[in-house]
Amino acid sequence: MIIPLNKLKIGQKGIIKNIEPGPLEDRFYDLGFTKEAIVECVLKSPFNDPTAYKIKGTLIAIREEDAATIKVGVMDE
Amino acid sequence: MNSKTIILAGNPNVGKSSIFNNLTNKHQHTGNWTGKTVEIAEGDFKCNNQNYHIYDLPGTYSLNFHSEEERVAADFIKTTYHDVTIVVCDATCLERNLYLALQIMQLTPKVIVCINLIDEAQKKQIFINFSKLSKMLQVPVIPMSARKNYGFNELKEAINNYQKPEKTFEKITDIAQKAKEITESTVIYQNQNYDAKERKIDRILTHKFWGLLTMFALFLLIFWLTISAANYPSSLLFKMFNNLTPYLTKFLNILPLPDFLVDLMINGIYKVLSWVVSVMLPPMAIFFPLFTILEDLGYLPRIAFCLDKCFKKCRSCGKQALTMCMGFGCNAVGVTTTRIIDSKRERLIAILTNSFVPCNGRFPTLISLLSIFIIGLNASSLLSALGLTVIIVFAILITLLISYILSKTILKGEKSAFTIELPPYRSPNLKNILTHSFRDRIYKILKRAISCSIPAGIIIWLLLNISLDNIPVINYLVNLLNPLGNLIGLDGAIILAFILGLPANEIIMPIILMIYLASSNLIEVNELSALKDILINNGWTILTCINFIILSLFHYPCATTILTIKKETNSTKWTLISIIIPLIIGISLCLLIKLLFNIF
């Protein structure tokens, strides 16, 4: 199942399938959000946005609408 | 002997500055957040009779020109002649670090890779095969722990023995893929849940309820400790300076100096100076180490994470919260810190509003006034801290409001994207905290305050002692400013003090007192009750107090901050705007409050 990254629930992992073109595309790439990388939803901020994701051993916070441009395949537990 | 040149590059927050400090014996502060080093630092060291000149670049994730730092770093590596570039990598997240290392290796073949934080990696049971890594990268690889002082001999040896490679590296088309391949064949994660404990702490610190409460409580705690512990040393310093006055006067009288000069030194310079030191030094000496602990722990990026939504609503970004935190220490530092904000528009918003959060130089006066007029002289220091926190929350709300207005008017534009890295928690190093707090912050700020108090003391003394028609010049000035002062619920002396206090906020209160005291013979102000009597005798009411607090929050940035804004924006227009905005806010709020007081 392919969903936007922002729909990933806390504790869920996904494999990055696609990053839509946009101002953040390159930035995501630099931060480690590359195709086939495993990303885990880890923390929600007190106001539910942004969300922190674990990627390649680091924790990166992204806003909801920006996370929506990354499509991930949900991994089974 | 010719000096060889070394460049230090790497991701943000991987310990480049720690390595730089160790090699050069310098003291760049190393905080636990992305973007701490914003300027290229330079230093020298000697090793085996060879001199080295070393540049510490700001941390970047790539060389793709996304931000100012990346542009600076990439240009620097490309255009500056160097003998070797040391790429510092974080052992706990090697893949992303290798991405940058490989990018750098596409620009220059002269690379040594340093794998720092291996102690942290060991704790997390992450193991790296360094010799294999070195073979795959075709460059020397040095495992290190800069904090634990481990690996420096090996690094120096590697630098000394470094031989320039014959050829450049082959072109890599997919750098990310290459980094992944190398990582997969050199790194073993023995414990997949290595960060379980950190995540537990994070879940509390970013919890809907507990997270925000902790944030409030932490700042309250810092202010409370600052206020309660500073009280006693402050009054001790006051007494000491007062007791020294007669001796100093005697001493100066022995010297062949004219009487007026002795009076200028004692009643002008010495008075302002002793006030500034006794009021400022103790709170600073407590606040800065405490704040540095928060910084080194890695808590500040969490604040940005927690508050981003509020800033997003105002079309700016959560990193502004981090720059405001730095502003508590010193607004000039806060302004420099705004470099972590990628969007130019959002960065300008953060620069223009930074002086709204009261810096250390304004805390003591705010606290004294709170005690005198609002919560009572005998109130507990916890109540004072609470009062100060309320003032700061108010300042934050105004910051959000103005950020919103700015992004709807002169800084129009959509909110831009926001990404921030939440670093692993690191235990603060006591020695680091103390040297940094005292050497870089307290000493610097105190030096500046002192160098501002001396001319201020002279000017005030001259204004008080030069007379026209037997009336001191200062009276003309105060009378001139009285209508404006009265209009906004203050008086001419206060307005004059704010004008003369441009170089440093710390000297505003002593100037006011000197003007008030000129007509009386009461000289020593070492107790809050004495301060209270003076202020009330000069017509202060609760309205004066509230409006003074407002004006103290919103007047104009101090001279140092203004110069920093000019440097950072490189624009006279924005510098002027940064002066005008708080003036408008301050004066209109004062007018409004006075109006409300007159109605009720």
B143-196 confidence digits (pLDDT tens): 999 988 999 999 999 999 888 887 778 888 888 899 999 999 999 988 888 888
Enter the tokens of residue B352: 């223009």
In a domain, residue A6? The reply is yes
Cα B458 from Cα B62, distance rounded (Å): 53
CATH number, domain at B133?
A: 3.40.50.300
Q: Domain ends where: B170, B194, B218?
A: B194
With 80 as the cut, is the pLDDT of residue B569 above it? Answer: yes
**Distance, C-alpha B280 to centroid of its chain:** 16
Q: What is the pLDDT of residues B404-432, one digit of tens each?
A: 999 999 998 876 778 899 999 998 888 88
- Count of beta carbons in the 10 Å neighbourhood of residue B169: 16
Q: Domain ends where: B144, B170, B194?
A: B194
DSSP A24: T
Residues B310 and B429 in one domain: yes
Q: pLDDT grade, residue B522 (50/70/90)? A: very low
- DSSP-derived secondary structure for B320-346: HHHHHHHHHH-HHHHHHHGGG--SHHH
- Which residue's structure tokens are 């800084």? B411
Cα B595 to Cα B487, B538, B539, distances in angstroms: 10, 21, 18
Phi, psi of B10 (to 5 degrees): 155, 175
Cα A7 to Cα A68, B308, B425, distances in angstroms: 8, 19, 27
Enter the tokens of residue A32: 């480690």
Enter the tokens of residue B332: 């000039």
In a domain, residue B205? The reply is no
Q: How many independent structural domains does chain B possess?
A: 2
With 60 as the cut, is the pLDDT of residue B523 above it? Answer: no
Phi, psi of B86 (to 5 degrees): -95, 120
Which candidate in B128, B174, B182, B305 is best for mutational testing of the A interface (most A CBs within 10 A)?
B305
- Asked if the Cβ–Cβ distance from B421 to A31 is below 8 Å, we say yes
In a domain, residue A21? The reply is no
With 80 as the cut, is the pLDDT of residue B27 above it? Answer: no
* The amino acid at B414: E
Cα B384 to Cα B216, B283, B367, distances in angstroms: 15, 13, 6
In a domain, residue B203? The reply is no
In a domain, residue B569? The reply is yes
Q: pLDDT grade, residue B520 (50/70/90)? A: low
* CA atoms lying within 13 Å on the CB side of residue A76: 0
Across the range B506-515, mean pLDDT stands at: 89
What pLDDT is recorded for position B526? 62
Question: Which of B545, B224, B547 minimizes the C-alpha distance to B386?
Answer: B224
Least confident of B60-64, B321-325, B349-353: B60-64
What pLDDT is recorded for position B287? 93
With 80 as the cut, is the pLDDT of residue A76 above it? Answer: no
Which candidate in B422, B425, B426 is best for mutational testing of the A interface (most A CBs within 10 A)?
B422
Question: Which of B83, B158, B89 minimizes the C-alpha distance to B117?
Answer: B89
> How far separated are the first and last CA of chain A, in Å rounded?
14
Residues B336 and B421 in one domain: yes
* The amino acid at B405: I
Residues B426 and B467 in one domain: yes
- Asked if the Cβ–Cβ distance from B206 to A43 is below 8 Å, we say yes
Q: pLDDT grade, residue B32 (50/70/90)? A: low
Q: How many independent structural domains does chain A possess?
A: 1
- Asked if the Cβ–Cβ distance from B419 to A47 is below 8 Å, we say no
Name which residue leads in pLDDT, B166 or B473.
B473
Residues B83 and B226 in one domain: no
Least confident of B5-14, B26-35, B434-443, B520-529: B520-529
* % of chain B residues with pLDDT over 70: 96
Residues B416 and B538 in one domain: yes
- Asked if the Cβ–Cβ distance from A59 to B176 is below 8 Å, we say no
Residues B181 and B317 in one domain: no
Cα B50 from Cα B39, distance rounded (Å): 26
Residues B221 and B103 in one domain: no
* The amino acid at B285: A
In a domain, residue B326? The reply is yes
ipTM score? 0.95
What pLDDT is recorded for position B100? 94
Contact assessment for residue A34 and residue A52, using Cβ atoms and an 8 Å cutoff: no
Compare all CA atoms of chain A with the CA of B101 and give the residue at the minimum distance.
A30
In a domain, residue A68? The reply is yes
Residues B442 and B589 in one domain: yes
In a domain, residue B202? The reply is no
Contact assessment for residue B200 and residue B169, using Cβ atoms and an 8 Å cutoff: no
Residues B560 and B468 in one domain: yes
| Residue A74 host element (H or E) | strand A70-74
Å from A44 to nearest chain B CA? 7
Which candidate in B61, B98, B419 is best for mutational testing of the A interface (most A CBs within 10 A)?
B419
What pLDDT is recorded for position B355? 95
In a domain, residue B226? The reply is yes
Q: Which of B93, B95, B176 sits opposite A29 (nearest CB)?
A: B176
Task: Give the three-state DSSP class for B258.
Answer: coil
Q: What is the pLDDT of residues B288-299, one digit of tens each?
A: 999 999 999 999
Contact assessment for residue B492 and residue B479, using Cβ atoms and an 8 Å cutoff: yes
In a domain, residue B307? The reply is yes
Q: pLDDT grade, residue A10 (50/70/90)? A: very high
* The amino acid at B19: I
Å from B94 to nearest chain A CA? 8
Q: pLDDT grade, residue B117 (50/70/90)? A: very high
Q: pLDDT grade, residue B441 (50/70/90)? A: confident
Compare all CA atoms of chain B with the CA of A36 and give the residue at the minimum distance.
B177
Cα B411 from Cα B398, distance rounded (Å): 17
Compare all CA atoms of chain A with the CA of B306 and give the residue at the minimum distance.
A45
Residues B267 and B402 in one domain: yes
Q: Domain ends where: B132, B159, B194?
A: B194
In a domain, residue A62? The reply is yes
What pLDDT is recorded for position B339? 86
Helix, strand, coil percentages (3-state) for chain A, rounded to 5, are 20, 40, 40
Residue A1 belongs to domain spanning: 1-14+31-40+51-77
Collect all residues from A whose CB is shorter than 8 A from any CB in B.
23-24, 26-32, 34, 37, 42-50, 52, 54-63, 66
With 80 as the cut, is the pLDDT of residue B527 above it? Answer: no
Contact assessment for residue B550 and residue B589, using Cβ atoms and an 8 Å cutoff: yes
Chain B, 421 to 450: residues with Cβ < 8 Å from chain A are 421-424
Residue B264 belongs to domain spanning: 210-599
Phi, psi of B88 (to 5 degrees): -90, 130
Q: What is the pLDDT of residues B37-59, one digit of tens each?
A: 667 888 899 888 899 999 998 88
Count of all residues that appear for chain B in the document:
600
Residues B500 and B373 in one domain: yes
Residues B167 and B250 in one domain: no
What pLDDT is recorded for position B271? 85
Across the range B349-354, mean pLDDT stands at: 96
- Asked if the Cβ–Cβ distance from A32 to B96 is below 8 Å, we say yes
